[in-house]
Structure 1
Amino acid sequence: MRASRLLSVLLLLQNRGRMTAEELAEELEVSVRTVYRDIDALSASGVPVYADRGRTGGYRLVDGYRTRLTGLSEEEAQALALAGVPAAAAELGLGTVLAAAQLKVVAALPADLRARAGTVAERFLLDVPGWFRGVESPSRLAEIAGAVWESRRVTMRYRRWDDSEVTRTLDPLGLILKAGNWYLAGRRDGTDRTYRVSRIIELQDSGESFSRPTDFDLAAYWRGWSEQYERRLYPRVAVVRLSSLGRDLVPFHMGAVGARALRETGGEPDDDGWSIVELPVEPRGPALGQLLRFGPELQVLAPADLRAEVAEAVARMGSHYA
């Protein structure tokens, strides 16, 4: 553990130049006293670390010194797959591992490419969760991640959508982070299923290992499951007229599903700027709420029962202001 941290100190100084003990301590999540000991250990091993004194001082390497000790460990190589979502890596217990891996990769780059990589990091950022939603931090996430890494069968007590509880034994095959929510893909009785990690109440390692199925592709599975989920969530289609503003509101009120419907089914605007679109909607009451969000920028044409429901709701709303 200490050898890995010493290498991280060395790579930080190599990549960033002068750093204070406090900055190193914050980066490595250790105490300042530990940093002092690590610097002494590096110096004793022959690494030319120079201390600049004073208020603007810090530690730096003697000009021209570079290390080639940049080999990645197995954990670090795995963590690089999550380089674009550091918050997710941290939730899985890989935050410091990812940071170490990134340091090693950057240290191995030529100077011009290293500078370019730094420029990209300064100017582009991936922020996964949607607005007004954070990333879930389920209490069992690290345990589940360990079972996925090591192909260990687990038994869990799970709270379903209707608040009933069930006990399931399954082979955990993969974790997915979708819009701030974590999901577990697992195989039970030969069938692949999806579970929301935050609904796992208890988790036990069964003590058994399993052979990961060669026919399982996590990305392909999630694509198929997501499409089926959307079809269940939006079982009806509403034929509507949308104004120009209404079309602009579709992605905000109906997300990716509505935006796709707008692209695929939206007709050409008429002389007044209105166009006909087929929007997937939820069943009954929720569909009414979805459509009323658009206010006067949307007119329901079909089906007839949904049109009547919207008309009745609008009339009742109007009566409150008569």
Structure 2
Amino acid sequence: MRLLSVLLSLQKHGRRTARELAAELEVSVRTIYRDVEALGAAGVPVYAERGPAGGYRLLDGYRTRLTGMTPEEAEALTLVGLPGPAAQLGLGAVLTAAELKLHAALPTTSGRVRERFHLDAAAWFQAADDTPWLGTIADAVWRGVRLTLRYRRWSVPREVTRTVDPLGIVLKAGRWYLVGAAEGTLRTYRVSKVLHAEPLAEECARPEGFDLATHWSEHTAWFEARQYTGEARVRLSPRAVDLIPGMLGTTVARAVAETAGPPDADGWVEATIPVEHPRMAVSDLLRLGADLELLGPPELLAAYSTVVADLARKCLSHPPVNLPAQS
């Protein structure tokens, strides 16, 4: 979108300095330098004029054929490479139209991007959430109007109804979330848990200075910190160290990297990792099987030992299974 803005600005004004473009697009001058280089690499005849009256210009007579693009199509271009999510938001047809117009104007660029980059937003081994109200919620976000939501949550009462100022939608690991303000607080709603959504005629009240990306980054950091209520001392095999990022997440993996001592003769290391409530911690640690040895704390070790002993007792209660010999 920014490259397109640079191109259209040069087409409209004839000559623009890097500083003027940077101020117009609210980016750094260095970013403008990179954008102009990218346009040139894509075949757009843009060149620099030196001197006090210099700046960037398009070759005389050059006009992009990008015409007739609606505001909705321009907004939909931000979802290029995410056709699935665009369709879920009800923007599939709009995105297709926008891509056709962009391809007509910059055939080299648009084809090259589609050939070389693809974004798959879904998480591994997980089906997409059922989100029947996503289109209604997205429409309210676009139009800036309030919503009445009926929502299923974890705590009691399980179902609640709230009036929400919808501020933005986030797609994370294949799951859609609504960020909104309700009862004077910023809240996050998983869209698949919405039982009913009703747009209102009232305009949404958007907090001054609210930035969706910044808020989401801060919210996820807070949520992650709240999840981990304790620590565990563990001994890990080399295989466990490799598996932890995918199984237990990057926070645990980072803790292993920061706290692990030197490996022993077999490559095992001792480390301190963050854990959730003991019941959840036991389930998580068991995923690593015999590649993890739990050393403490005592209360977690007791809960872990109880579950392991119970599993062993159940296994021993069944007759042994004769597996075929491996060739």
Segments of structure 2 that go 5 or more residues without pairing to the other structure are 1-62, 318-327
- Which residue pairs with 2:236 in the alignment? 242
Write the distance in 2 (CA, Å) between the matches of 1:137 and 1:82: 20
> Alpha-carbon deviation of 1:310?
2.2
Alpha-carbon RMSD:
2.2
The answer to whether the Cα contact below 8 Å between 2:180 and 2:187 also exists between their aligned partners in 1 is yes
SS in 2 for 1:173: strand
TM-score (norm 2): 0.71
> Alpha-carbon deviation of 1:71?
4.3
> Alpha-carbon deviation of 1:75?
0.4
Matched, 1:78 2:75: yes
Matched, 1:287 2:284: no
SS in 2 for 1:249: helix
Taking a change above 3 Å as real, the CA distance of residues 144 and 239 of structure 1, as seen in their structure-2 partners, is same
Matched, 1:181 2:175: yes
2:134 aligned residue (127, 132, 141):
141
Matched, 1:218 2:216: no
Matched, 1:103 2:96: no
**Identity percentage of aligned residues:** 48
Write the distance in 2 (CA, Å) between the matches of 1:133 and 1:86: 18
- Which residue pairs with 2:115 in the alignment? 122
TM-score (norm 1): 0.72
Segments of structure 1 that go 5 or more residues without pairing to the other structure are 1-65
2:290 aligned residue (296, 307, 310):
296
Taking a change above 3 Å as real, the CA distance of residues 210 and 316 of structure 1, as seen in their structure-2 partners, is closer
The answer to whether the Cα contact below 8 Å between 2:140 and 2:166 also exists between their aligned partners in 1 is yes
SS in 2 for 1:231: helix
Matched, 1:202 2:196: yes
Write the distance in 2 (CA, Å) between the matches of 1:212 and 1:243: 50
> Alpha-carbon deviation of 1:253?
1.9
State the AA in 1 paired with 2:167: L
State the AA in 2 paired with 1:85: L
> Alpha-carbon deviation of 1:169?
0.8
Write the distance in 2 (CA, Å) between the matches of 1:266 and 1:76: 51
Matched, 1:150 2:143: yes
- Which residue pairs with 2:316 in the alignment? 321
Summarize deviations over 1:183-227 as a string: whole Å, max 9, x none: 111112321111111111122222111342232111111111112
Q: In the comparison of the two structures, how many residue pairs are matched?
A: 253
SS in 2 for 1:247: helix
Matched, 1:68 2:65: yes
Write the distance in 1 (CA, Å) between the matches of 2:94 and 2:254: 38
State the AA in 2 paired with 1:107: A
The answer to whether the Cα contact below 8 Å between 1:135 and 1:179 also exists between their aligned partners in 2 is no
Write the distance in 1 (CA, Å) between the matches of 2:279 and 2:207: 42
Matched, 1:269 2:263: yes
